[in-house]
Structure 1
C-alpha cells in the first residue's frame, strides 16, 4: 500500500484580535527544545506561518490522528507567546507579512518583489512512488483531476479584509509565482528532469526547489508531491484530500502500466479548470476533467470518486471517501464555512476565532 504524508502551513494569529502575528521564530525555538517537535515543525517564507509535516502513513485513520496531533501541538507551542494557530489559507484580516531571515528568503524578496509579500498557506500531499519513471507517468495522468482537489479544499474567500468572491483566492495569488501552475505532458522522467534543469538554468529560479508545479517529483522523498490544495479548515478535509490523492496516484499508475495514454488537455484548458475551481469551490459548476465542459460540482466530485473507486476500494477507503464527500457537499468546505460565519457574526475577527477553534477540534 502506498504511503501518504501531508505538509500543512498554519497561520499564527492573536487569539483575541485574530490578527496575524510574526512569531514563527519564537514558536520554532520552543519546538527545538523537544527532539520530536524539532523534526516536525519548520519555518516558511513568512514569519506569520508555521509548517508541519506528518510521517508517511499507510492508514488514513493514522494520518488523520497525526494531523490532529500536530495541530494541537502547534497550538500548545504557540500558547504563552501571544498567539495561536488557525488553518486558514489566507488571512481574513489585513496583514503586511514579514519575510523570514536567511539568504534564501532575502533573495526571493529581492527577486520577486511584491509577489513575495503575498501571505498564502497550502496543504501539500506526498504519495509514494517506486521510481521517477512511475512518478512522471503519474504527474502526466493526474493533471485534469487536480482542479477537483482544489475545489474540495477551498478555504480562502477573504483577502486583506474583504470578500474576494473566490472560494480559493490563495490559488489565484499563488499563480503569480513564475513556475507555478499546471504542466504539459512530459512523457518521461528524462524529459521532466531536462525541463526542470532548463528552468533553473534561466536564473529566474534560485534552484530546483522553486519549481512549483501543481504536481512534481519531491526532491527529498520518493514521492509525487501534489501542491494544489488550500490548507483545510478541518482535519477531516485534509484526510479526504490525501485519500483522493493516493487514489489518483494508484489509478494513474495502473493506466500507465496498461499502456493508457494521458488525456491530452492543454495547459490553457487546465488553467481554466483551475480558475473555475478557485472561483466556485463546491457551490456552483466545475469543469469535468475528462470533457472540460461545465457540470455541477456534485457531479464532478462523483466522477472523481468513480475514477479512483477501484483503487480506494482495495485500500478500504472508498466508503469513508464517499461519506466525507457527501458531508462536505452538504455542510460546505472551509470557504463556505467562513462566509457563513461572516454572515452570522458580521465580524472577520469572529470568523478567525471560530476557525481557531475548528482548527484544533
Structure 2
C-alpha cells in the first residue's frame, strides 16, 4: 500500500485581534529546545507561518491522528508566546508579512520583489510514494485534470487584506504569481521531466529545483509525487479527505500507466481555466468536468472523482469514509463558506479568525 505524508502550513495569530504574529523563529526554537516538536515543525517563508509534516503512513486513520496531534502541539507551542495557530489559506485581516532571514529567502526577495512579500498564504501539500521516477511522471501526466477538484474542496481563503476577494481560494491566485507555478504539459517520461526542470533552472529565473512549483512534481528528497494544489484545510477531516483522494488518484494513474492507457491530452490553457473555476467558486457552483472540460454542478464533478478512484479506494478500505467526508464538505461547505457564514453572523473578521482557531482544533 502506498504511503502518504501531509504538510500543513498554519498561521500564527494574536488570539485577541486575529492579526498574524511574526513568532515562528521563537516557536521553532522552543520546539527544538524541548524536543516536543519531534522534528515535524519547519520554518516557512514568513515569520507568521508554522509548518509541520507528518510521518509517512499507509493507514489514513493514522494520518488523521497525526494531523490532529500536530495541530494541537503547534497550538500548545504558540500558546507559550501568547499566540494561537489557525488553519487559514490567507489572513482575513491586513498583515505586514515578515520574511524569515536566510540566504534563500533573501534571494527570492531580490529576484521576485513584491510577490515574495505578499506570499503569506498557507497550503496543504501531500506526498504519495511511487516506485520510480518513471511511475511518478506517468502519474503526474494522468492526474492533471483532476487536481482542480481538490482545490475546490479545500478552498479556505476568501478574504485578502480585510476584503472579500470573491474567490473561495484566493491563495491559489496569489500562488500562481510564481513563474514556475501551475499545471504542466505532458512530460511522457522521467527523462523529459528532468530535462524540463534542468532547462528551467538553467534560465536563472529560479534558483534551484526546489523552486519548481508545479501543481504536481517529483519530490526532491523523497521517492514521492508531491501534489501542491490545496489550501490548508480548515477542518482536519477535510485534510484527510484530500490526502485520501490524492492517494487514490496516484494509484489509479499508476494502474492506467501499467495497462498502457494514455493520459488525457488537455492543454495547459484549459487546465488553467479549470483551476480558475475551482478557485473562484469552490464547490458552491460549477466546476469543469475533467474529461469533457465543460461546466457541470460541483456535486456531480466531485462524484465523478470518487467514481474515478473507486477501485483504488476500495482496495485500501477508504471508499466509504471518503464518500461520507466528501458529502460532509458538500453539505457543510468548504472553509471559505464557513468563513463567510461566520462573517455574516458576527460582522467582524477578528471573530472569523477566532472561530477558525476553534475549527482548527476540532
TM-score where L is the length of structure 2: 0.99
* Aligned-pair CA distance for 1:36: 5.2
Q: 1:135-146 alignment to 2 at 5 Å?
A: 135-146=136-147
Q: 1:269-280 alignment to 2 at 5 Å?
A: 269-280=270-281
Measure the CA separation in 2 of the matches of 1:330 and 1:359. 19
Alignment-derived partner of residue 86 in structure 2: 86
Deviations 1:58-84 (A, max 9, x none): 111110000000000000001121211
Alignment-derived partner of residue 170 in structure 1: 171
Q: 1:230-245 alignment to 2 at 5 Å?
A: 230-245=231-246
Structure 1: gaps spanning 5 or more residues: none
Measure the CA separation in 2 of the matches of 1:215 and 1:325. 22
* Aligned-pair CA distance for 1:360: 1.1
Q: 1:1-361 alignment to 2 at 5 Å?
A: 1-35=1-35, 37-118=37-118, 119-361=120-362
What is the SS of the residue equivalent to 2:287?
Answer: strand
Measure the CA separation in 2 of the matches of 1:126 and 1:117. 27
Measure the CA separation in 1 of the matches of 2:331 and 2:136. 34
Measure the CA separation in 1 of the matches of 2:33 and 2:291. 50
Q: How many residues align structurally? A: 361
* Aligned-pair CA distance for 1:38: 4.9
* Aligned-pair CA distance for 1:96: 1.5
Measure the CA separation in 1 of the matches of 2:353 and 2:332. 19
Measure the CA separation in 1 of the matches of 2:304 and 2:182. 23
Measure the CA separation in 1 of the matches of 2:315 and 2:303. 18
Measure the CA separation in 2 of the matches of 1:331 and 1:35. 38
Deviations 1:149-181 (A, max 9, x none): 000000000000000010000001100000000
TM-score where L is the length of structure 1: 0.99
Measure the CA separation in 2 of the matches of 1:184 and 1:294. 22
Q: Which runs of structure 1 show a deviation greater than 2 angstroms over 4 or more consecutive aligned residues?
A: none
Structure 1 stretch displaced more, 21-30 or 75-84? 75-84
RMSD of aligned alpha carbons: 0.6
Deviations 1:288-339 (A, max 9, x none): 0000000000000000000000000000000000000111110111000000
What is the SS of the residue equivalent to 1:327?
Answer: helix
Measure the CA separation in 1 of the matches of 2:359 and 2:332. 14
Measure the CA separation in 2 of the matches of 1:79 and 1:96. 21
Deviations 1:235-292 (A, max 9, x none): 0000000000000000000000000000000000000000000001000000000000
What is the SS of the residue equivalent to 1:182?
Answer: coil
What is the SS of the residue equivalent to 1:50?
Answer: strand
Deviations 1:91-127 (A, max 9, x none): 0000110111011111101111111012110000000
